[in-house]
Amino acid sequence: MPSLVKIGVVELTCGVLTGWFMVYITRTPRAERIRRGLRDPRRVRQRHLELLMMGTMLIAIGAAVPSVPMPALARRPGARSPTMIVA
């Protein structure tokens, strides 16, 4: 399996896990979210969608072009975008 597809699967898995977190956020009362430091649930939804879209794109590109050189992946800012914002 190409490394780009593996990275895409990891991002897609993280996107699925943030989906469960998003369900938790929407079911939690506003006062409880603010007490825990989660002021805006729209940001969680944004990260969730970004991870899903980036993971899907990486899998599609990795399947179409299986021999992408690794230095090209390191220079690509989109690979770090969704995960760096969350951290």
What tokens does 16 get?
């699925």
Task: Please give the DSSP secondary-structure letter assigned to residue 28.
Answer: S
What tokens does 82 get?
């969704």
pLDDT at 70: 61
Whole-model pTM: value is 0.71
The residue type found at 62 is G
Q: What is the pLDDT of residues 32-77, one digit of tens each?
A: 888 888 778 788 888 888 889 988 988 888 888 877 666 655 555 5
Cα separation, 67 vs 24, whole angstroms: 39
If you search the block for the tokens 């597809």, which residue do you land on? 5
Cα separation, 57 vs 4, whole angstroms: 10
